Amino acid sequence: PKEPSGFLSAESIKIQKKVANAFVKRKKRSSPYEWYFEYYKSPMEQMHERCENYPPCDYLSDQVGFALAYNRFFG
């Protein structure tokens, strides 16, 4: 049903939950290890993110490699 202004009403946009679940499926975790690694990052991943968030370290890591750049700035 269209409103007088030509826009669709909110009720016409909603879809039923059963229909929505037919094409949007949540990935299920098969083991506790997958659940753990989904929420907690390894120390190496944390180091990479720290270097990526600091522009001089990120730039240097492209030039000489991550290990040397990280040690130079956060050593």
pLDDT in tens, 54-68: 999 999 999 999 999
Render pLDDT for 20-49 as a digit per residue (tens, 0 to 9): 667 666 666 677 777 777 778 889 999 999
| 26 occurs within a structural domain | no
With respect to residue 6, please indicate whether it lies within any of the assigned structural domains. Answer: no
Q: How many domains does the chain have?
A: 1
Residue at 62 is within a domain: yes
Tokens at 30, concatenated: 């098969």
Range of the domain at 46: 41-74
* Cβ atoms of residues 38 and 29 within 8 Å: yes
Q: Residue 66 falls within a domain, yes or no?
A: yes
Compute how many other C-beta atoms are within 10 angstroms of the C-beta atom of residue 69: 20
Q: pTM (2 decimals)?
A: 0.51
In a domain, 67, yes or no: yes
